[in-house]
């Protein structure tokens, strides 16, 4: 059932993108676009506007449904269920050992190379 809702969700997302891209710009954002009746208030609802609302409502409904289904599945398991004790000890055993006398600190200033004298 979750796969069916996911497929419907993806189809609605693609349809919503397509319908929004097909609509005429109403000249909001950057002062671009057309539309002579900007100051008249609300414009008449077009068929593409109605489709946009229908697809958006369907998209939100499928989003909430998928979230509820995912939450119900996640309540029964934990991330730590997939980690076993054998895996952790096996990783520690296979780790390369550091050579004796090596440390992870940078060399001290006394170990730094001496700069040759400058010829002025």
> What is the residue-level pLDDT of the chain in tens, covering all 120 positions?
889 999 999 999 999 999 999 988 766 555 555 555 555 555 567 888 899 999 999 999 999 999 999 888 777 777 677 777 665 555 556 666 666 655 666 666 666 667 777 776
Burial of 12 per CB tally in 10 Å (0-12, 13-18, 19+): buried
| Residues 12, 4 contacting (CB under 8 angstroms) | no
CA 79/CA 82 separation, integer angstroms: 6
Cα 59 to chain centroid, rounded? 18
């Amino acid at each position: 059932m979750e796969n069916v809702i996911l497929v419907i969700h993806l189809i609605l997302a693609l349809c919503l993108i397509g319908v929004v891209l097909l609509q005429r710009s109403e000249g909001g954002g950057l002062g671009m676009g057309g539309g002579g009746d900007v100051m008249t208030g609300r414009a008449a609802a077009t068929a593409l506007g109605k489709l946009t609302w229908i697809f958006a409502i369907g998209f939100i409904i499928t989003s909430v449904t998928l979230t509820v289904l995912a939450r119900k599945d996640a309540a029964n398991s934990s991330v730590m269920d997939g980690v076993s004790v054998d895996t952790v000890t096996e990783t520690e055993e296979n780790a390369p050992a550091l050579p004796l006398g090596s440390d992870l600190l940078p060399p001290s200033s006394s170990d730094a190379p001496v700069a040759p004298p400058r010829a002025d």
